[in-house]
Structure 1
Amino acid sequence: MGDPVLDHLRLIRTPGVGPVTYRQLIARFADPAAALAALPMLARRGGGQAPRIPDPAVVAQEIATVDRLGARHLFLGDPDYPPLLAELDSAPPVLIVRGDIALARRACVAIVGARNASAAACRFARGLAHDLAAEGVTIVSGLARGIDTAAHAGAMPHTIGVIASGIDIAFPPENAALQESVAERSLLIAEQPPGAQPLARHFPSRNRIIAALAIGTVVVEAAPRSGSLITARLANEAGREVMAVPGSPLDPRAQGCNLLIREGATLIQTAADVLEQIRPIDPRSVRAPALPFEAPPPADASDRERARVTALLGPVPVPVDELIRQSDLAPAVVQTILLELELAGRLERHAGGRVSG
């Protein structure tokens, strides 16, 4: 009999197995070892090569490295897994955490903003984080320069840092001391395995974790095209509060916040404004375990049905619900076909339950 932890991690680290596919595989096969054994067959049905499943020794080395770093793996479904994050259909199947995981079970607010933030904005973010932490709120941010750094510093030790690299990689390098302080005194979270560099594609994934951990997200300063606005959009898609601090129309760094307010985000000037937005929410929502994700019952698909779904896919992301409607197939059949295509490397999943081929 295999090691369930090892098998779960091998499944998660297999190319083509994203968060949604992982949940569907576990729902279908229950046992991760059975899911691993089925991957070659599923990929062939999707028209691709069998994915390269990591060697057990490689995954065992990752487990040993995480332990040596004073961190641990936290799997989706574990009692300590952050409940609000678990509500996402794209919730990470595994997190690597260092520090006090209880911070993620308190009421959390994300504070994000520009890396090249003004001195006034940094001072505001630091003060806002400090005042919210004094009221028992955990502050979540991304350990980047500027607003993130100010928010962590103001909230310490009531803060969570979510990084786009491995738990052992500090980015930016000048925040290495701050990252270590967050890990020792607060909570540090990484989705990537140890040694992973902070590649550009990892940051949107990091941002979805920041948005999903929190009841609401406050944007302090942001350009119209920035990662902070991506975090705000992801928070909105997750049904969380989006708040923004207004700024001068003459400052390009304030344009993103002013745009958010124009589009309906709550205008924030004090910690009391933030508390007013989050406190009407039932506190049990941050303490009670989230309802488990329920994948549709597994259903095999015919070649004709695969061809019908594949023909509807293109380079432009489309909602899965739209594929179900246009294909006129059962949701379980469509989900099975999408799973096969993803394992075959012929499908890409996007935020908001959209896919492209």
Structure 2
Amino acid sequence: MDREELGGWLRLTLSPGVGNGAARRLLSTFGLPQAIFQQPEATLLQCVTPVQARALLELPPTWSDLLETTWKWLADANPAGPGRTVVTLGDARFPQALLDTEDPPLMLYVMGPTRWLEQQRLFPRERCLAIVGSRNPTAQGAENARLFARALHSAGLTVVSGLALGVDAAAHEGALDAAVPDAPVAATIAVVGTGLDRVYPRKNLDLAHRIVANGLLVSEYPLGTPPLPANFPKRNRIISGLSQGTLVVEAALASGSLITARMAAEQGREVFAIPGSIHAPQSRGCHALIRQGAKLVESAQDVLEELRLPSAPGLTATTAPSDAEDLTTAPDEPDDPLLEALGFDPMSVDALVARTGMDAASLQVALLELELEGRVARLPGGLFQRMGSA
């Protein structure tokens, strides 16, 4: 893409009051953005309102600076580091999966390994699965997200999520744990709600660097866009739209993850949900989805069987296990009376004292030992939860 064409696309996205729907009508009628801006107002009125037509004929005040910033961002990519590109609605690399949705973005800013940015099929939907969930998951929920993502990428899927704290971050990390050199598919795709020249939340800065080495960072928002609250629910349509299905690990009833799941269903994608404790607020969203028809899954194999995916080209037995792990069942282990008493629901020390008959001091010592062994997690509010294992 040359500078003039990039300028045309940026001007179209910046024109006030001209949304994606109006922009698509204009593109369908006149072709590339440069042709749109060559039309007289009377011709533009065939596609848009008078207010929109007048907006299109005026240069947006921030256009010149954004063009310069974006052109420099593309040109300044370190040859030894991740590549940078802009993929527009008219680009052959634009994901077909998003073209099939109701509201595809006009532009996608993308960072990742150059070998993937140069591929014609940059986002193969049939090999993408979204994993989303609570920003404040239980310890078991975060572990489930990590282990499911690891198993699913090992089986040849790219894990798509939103780089948020909690389940999103755990899913990206799990997929990256399974990444291998020269893999045929990206380990993970992070669809973010800011410009790609900033990372939000900052706590995930190191994770973002890992992602662009083995996956893709994607945004529809221009460089310099701050973390505006309205942008995050909007970007969820891209997370679900890129993917063949969406797996919700944990979600409260008011969670943004349920927005992603609803969008996935509206886009004709599969929706999966992991059940949890009836006492955990983070499980209620998943239980609601299951009641509404989402597929209940207990293992990564459940997801793979439902999707009926062919083997990924280039994967071998060392990278694609023949049988994905059951991630919710603990392995056989010697009975521990305290673990038996704890069960799998979060529980307070007082409740464990009543259930086991142990004194509080001895119980705290035993819980600490189990916590150090990774068999019990300490939760906010003085609660403890038994951990499942892959």
Q: What interval of TM-score do these two structures reach, taking the shorter chain for normalisation?
A: 0.7 to 0.9
Amino acid at match of 1:127: L
Q: Which residue of 1 aligns with 2:51?
A: 48
| Corresponding residue SS for 1:78 | coil
Between stretches 232-241 and 100-109, larger displacement belongs to: 100-109
Q: Which residue of 2 aligns with 1:26?
A: 27
Matches within 5 A, 1:22-101: 22-38=23-39, 42=44, 46=49, 48=51, 50-51=54-55, 52-54=58-60, 57-61=64-68, 62-69=70-77, 70-99=83-112, 100-101=116-117
Aligned Cα root-mean-square deviation (Å): 2.6
Q: Do the aligned residues in 1 keep the contact of 2:27 with 2:33 (CA within 8 Å)?
A: yes
Mark the runs of 5 or more structure 2 residues left unpaired by the alignment. 78-82, 180-186, 313-390
Q: Which residue of 1 aligns with 2:149?
A: 129
Is 1:139 aligned with 2:140?
no
Following the alignment from structure 1 to structure 2, what is the Cα–Cα distance between the partners of residues 75 and 273? Answer: 35
| Corresponding residue SS for 1:140 | strand
Q: Which residue of 2 aligns with 1:104?
A: 123
Distance 1:31 1:76, change over 3 A: closer
Is 1:170 aligned with 2:199?
yes
Work out which of the residue numbers 238, 252, 267 in structure 2 matches 1:238: 267
Structure 1 residue 64: Cα displacement: 1.8
C-alpha distance after superposition, 1:152-209 (max 9, x if no partner):
0000141011100000111111001101211222111011111111101111221010
Amino acid at match of 1:191: E
Q: Do the aligned residues in 2 keep the contact of 1:211 with 1:231 (CA within 8 Å)?
A: yes
| Corresponding residue SS for 2:37 | helix
C-alpha distance after superposition, 1:110-166 (max 9, x if no partner):
000000001101101100000000110000000000100110000014101110000
Following the alignment from structure 2 to structure 1, what is the Cα–Cα distance between the partners of residues 27 and 50? Answer: 22
Structure 1 residue 71: Cα displacement: 1.6
Following the alignment from structure 1 to structure 2, what is the Cα–Cα distance between the partners of residues 245 and 95? Answer: 31
Q: Do the aligned residues in 1 keep the contact of 2:6 with 2:67 (CA within 8 Å)?
A: no
Work out which of the residue numbers 160, 170, 184 in structure 1 matches 2:189: 160
Following the alignment from structure 1 to structure 2, what is the Cα–Cα distance between the partners of residues 67 and 190? Answer: 18
Following the alignment from structure 2 to structure 1, what is the Cα–Cα distance between the partners of residues 39 and 65? Answer: 20
Structure 1 residue 40: Cα displacement: 5.2
Mark the runs of 5 or more structure 1 residues left unpaired by the alignment. 284-357
Distance 1:48 1:75, change over 3 A: closer
Structure 1 residue 16: Cα displacement: 2.2
C-alpha distance after superposition, 1:90-109 (max 9, x if no partner):
11111000013456226100
Q: Do the aligned residues in 2 keep the contact of 1:219 with 1:244 (CA within 8 Å)?
A: yes
Structure 1 residue 43: Cα displacement: 7.1
Q: Which residue of 1 aligns with 2:306?
A: 277
Q: Which residue of 1 aligns with 2:225?
A: 196
Following the alignment from structure 1 to structure 2, what is the Cα–Cα distance between the partners of residues 181 and 27? Answer: 38
Is the radius of gyration larger for structure 1 or structure 2? 2
Structure 1 residue 68: Cα displacement: 2.5
Structure 1 residue 33: Cα displacement: 2.3
Q: Which residue of 1 aligns with 2:9?
A: 8
Distance 1:197 1:66, change over 3 A: farther
| Corresponding residue SS for 1:243 | strand
Structure 1 residue 87: Cα displacement: 1.4
Distance 1:228 1:67, change over 3 A: farther
Q: Do the aligned residues in 2 keep the contact of 1:182 with 1:188 (CA within 8 Å)?
A: yes
Amino acid at match of 1:199: L
Distance 1:232 1:73, change over 3 A: same
C-alpha distance after superposition, 1:270-313 (max 9, x if no partner):
11111112126999xxxxxxxxxxxxxxxxxxxxxxxxxxxxxx
Structure 1 residue 249: Cα displacement: 1.4
Structure 1 residue 20: Cα displacement: 1.9
Q: Do the aligned residues in 2 keep the contact of 1:104 with 1:138 (CA within 8 Å)?
A: no
Amino acid at match of 1:22: A
| Corresponding residue SS for 1:109 | strand
Q: Do the aligned residues in 1 keep the contact of 2:145 with 2:249 (CA within 8 Å)?
A: yes
Structure 1 residue 84: Cα displacement: 1.1
- Please identify which structure carries the higher helix content: 1
Normalising by structure 2, what TM-score?
0.68
| Corresponding residue SS for 2:29 | helix
Amino acid at match of 1:138: T
Distance 1:2 1:133, change over 3 A: closer
Following the alignment from structure 1 to structure 2, what is the Cα–Cα distance between the partners of residues 220 and 26? Answer: 39
Amino acid at match of 2:111: R
Following the alignment from structure 1 to structure 2, what is the Cα–Cα distance between the partners of residues 68 and 40? Answer: 38
* Percent of aligned pairs sharing the same letter: 41
| Corresponding residue SS for 2:123 | helix
Following the alignment from structure 1 to structure 2, what is the Cα–Cα distance between the partners of residues 2 and 110? Answer: 34
How many pairs does the alignment contain? 284
